[in-house]
Amino acid sequence: MNQTYVAKCEKCDFKSPEGSLRETIAAEGKHKKKNHETVIVCMAGSAFLTARELRARLNISHSTCWRWVRADILPSPIRLGKRAVRWRLADIEKFEASREVVRESA
């Protein structure tokens, strides 16, 4: 089953044409506006976050992000190529929910 993806920008009306994940990442790379972040969405409803989006969402540094991945604190990203990684939004939401439980019990 081939899934189709689309890249959307939250700050402007940019939306890439539907395509494979590789095509969508290429289209996302062409949307280079200052302070604009795009989200890749699987047409089945699953979204992905870039490392920059993840760090901003969790308010952590680059070093902390990768330290947490190595320590199995943060879910591992999906590697799409040599330099392209994305995290599933569902995995990050599950991680955030688990962190809330830890805070409430402390």
Q: In this predicted model, what pLDDT tens digit does every residue of 54-86 receive, in sequence order?
A: 998 899 999 999 999 999 999 999 887 777 889
Q: Give the Cα separation of 76 and 68 in Å (integer).
A: 9
Rg (CA), the chain: 15
pLDDT tens, position by position, 85-106:
899 888 998 999 888 766 666 5
- Residue 30's pLDDT band, with cuts at 50, 70 and 90, is confident
When pLDDT is cut at 50, 70 and 90, the band that residue 1 belongs to is: very low
The answer to whether 101 touches 85, Cβ cutoff 8 Å, is: no
Query: Tokens 């996302």 belong to which residue?
Result: 28
64 contact partners, CB below 8 Å, separation of at least 6: none
pLDDT above 90 for 8:
no
Calculate mean pLDDT across residues 9-22.
Answer: 74
Residue whose token pair is 């990050």: 92
Distance, in Å, from the CA atom of 32 to the CA atom of 95, rounded to the nearest integer, reads 29
